[in-house]
Amino acid sequence: MTTINGIPAHALLIHAIVVLAPLVALLEILCGCWPAARRRLVWLVLALAAATLVLTPLAASSGQWLYDKLGIDSPVLQTHKERGGWMIYFSAALLIVAIALAVLHWLEGRSDKRRTVATVIVAIVALAVGVSSIVTVVRIGDAGAEAVWGRQG
């Protein structure tokens, strides 16, 4: 995928990642810490995490196409490219946390037995993965914005 309606696909796909990844991260933290939110949002979170994982390599490959097409090489663009390569791991981690939340939700629905240890572990992992994913998206985006617009202010 190279262009969409004449616009480089990377510019469009990356905005989906910039919105979806932090949204999934925040929803996972919410679902991990608040059982009522987990009951209502777990399947939405799972679907959004899966969409993020599918879109991430598309954004990366379209970015590689754009990089090759423009033929511009700069240290900040190299930084953006390297950091962008990390995102697939964070997207996969977001999906794994979403699956863990769904399994926890399913287990809670099958019995009245409290799963305190599992709930705490999933909440801690959701917090760690969520915060690190948000930080990573910001770092990747900052390098990309600097590559396009230069250092502003």
DSSP string, 107-126: HHHH-S---HHHHHHHHHHH
Task: Report phi then psi at 54, rounded to 5.
Answer: -70, -40
Query: Which residues are bridge partners to 122 per DSSP?
Result: none
Given pLDDT bands bounded at 50, 70 and 90, which one contains residue 68?
confident
Residue 153 has pLDDT above 60, yes or no: no
Residue 75, pLDDT score: 85
pLDDT of residue 59 exceeding 80, the answer is yes
Beta-ladder partners of 8: 3
Mean pLDDT of 75-83: 86
pLDDT given for residue 18 in this prediction: 95
- Indicate the average pLDDT of the chain: 91
Q: Residue 122 in contact with residue 100, Cβ under 8 Å?
A: yes
**What's the distance, CA 131 to chain centroid?**
11
Q: What is the residue range of 34's domain?
A: 3-149
Structural domains counted in the chain: 1
Q: Which residues contact 79 (CB under 8 A, 6 or more apart)?
A: 143
Task: State how far the Cα of 78 lies from the Cα of 67, in Å rounded to an integer.
Answer: 10
